[in-house]
Amino acid sequence: MGVLETVILVGSLGLIAWGGVYLGHYGGRFDGSEFEAVPTKRTVSAGPAAAPESPEFKEGRRIYVANCQACHGTRGEGEGAPGVPPLDKSEWVVAAGPARLIRILAHAVEGPIKVAGKEYNNTGMLAWGSQLSPEQLAAVSTFIRQAWGNKGGPVSVDQIKAVLNETKGREAKWTVAELEKIPESLGGGSATELTPEQLRDKLKALPPEKLQALLKELGK
Ligand code: HEC
């Protein structure tokens, strides 16, 4: 064997050995568990340049996996169970304000409902208002508004509480017709919205003569 052949042989053996080690390290297992429906950071992050995840977002993912994923899919694509609409790119999820979304989560919605261009009519959506705390509802709302392809703003605990307050005593699921009458920004969707309670507290804080004048004005 000449020098050249020896170099090539040794080099090839080295490459084969390296390839084996590389595959062992990075190749993964060749079984179904590699494709398990566990949402990892890779499947739910907004992309390579995604900002660091907030604690609410992480908590929201945990709640989503535990409560919603079976029906709405590991990546919010819907059809986790037959006839379930997607949350990814759903106009109900990424609406400008969360007033309708929070109502859907708190008391559920009954179809027909159009989501991302397709009509659904399924009675499966559950009411979460009595199952999850306001903090958990805020976290899961924030998560679904920011996961996958969604780029909605976060939802605060105050916004959740405001809507729960406005809808206190409600048992029935929402219909789309009812939801469409509610401005998206209601319930704290914009920073300037006040709940009736907040408004009352503000009025109480006014000096008596100002309050008198205001009441007189409103009474006209
Ligand atoms: C048992 C199945 C099931 C579970 C669990 C479930 N949903 Fe739904 N969800 C539905 C169905 C079905 C609809 C559509 C209702 C219809 O067709 O009238 C829906 C509708 C929605 C909608 C409005 C439509 C859309 O796709 O944007 C949102 C938002 C939503 N669900 C969020 C959630 C979240 C968040 C959770 C977990 C906290 C959850 N759902 C858990 C079945 C489910």
- pLDDT tens for residues 39-84? 455 555 555 555 689 999 999 999 999 999 999 999 999 998 889 9
Residues at CB less than 6 angstroms from ligand 1: 67-68, 70-72, 81, 84-87, 90, 92-93, 101, 104-105, 109-111, 113, 115, 120-122, 124-126, 128, 140, 144
Amino acid, single-letter form, for residue 199: L
Mutate to test the pocket of ligand 1, among 71, 74, 104, 119 (most ligand atoms within 8 A of CB): 71
pLDDT of residue 5: 62
Asked if the structure places residue 204 within a domain, the reply is yes
Residues of the chain above pLDDT 90, percent: 55
Asked if the structure places residue 52 within a domain, the reply is yes
pLDDT of residue 49: 58
Specify the residue with its C-alpha closest to ligand 1, atom 11: 125
- CATH number for the domain harbouring residue 88: 1.10.760.10
Residues of the chain above pLDDT 70, percent: 70
Asked if the structure places residue 9 within a domain, the reply is no
Q: Which residues contact 11 (CB under 8 A, 6 or more apart)?
A: none
Q: Which domain holds residue 43?
A: 36-215
Mutate to test the pocket of ligand 1, among 64, 65, 72 (most ligand atoms within 8 A of CB): 72
Count how many domains the chain has: 1
Asked if the structure places residue 78 within a domain, the reply is yes
Asked if the structure places residue 79 within a domain, the reply is yes
Characterize 18-41 residue by residue with b for buried, 16 or more Cβ atoms within 10 angstroms of its Cβ, and e for exposed: eeeeeeeeeeeeeeeeeeeeebee
Asked if the structure places residue 200 within a domain, the reply is yes
| pLDDT at 196 > cutoff 90 | no
Asked if the structure places residue 198 within a domain, the reply is yes
Q: pTM (2 decimals)?
A: 0.69
Mutate to test the pocket of ligand 1, among 103, 125, 173 (most ligand atoms within 8 A of CB): 125
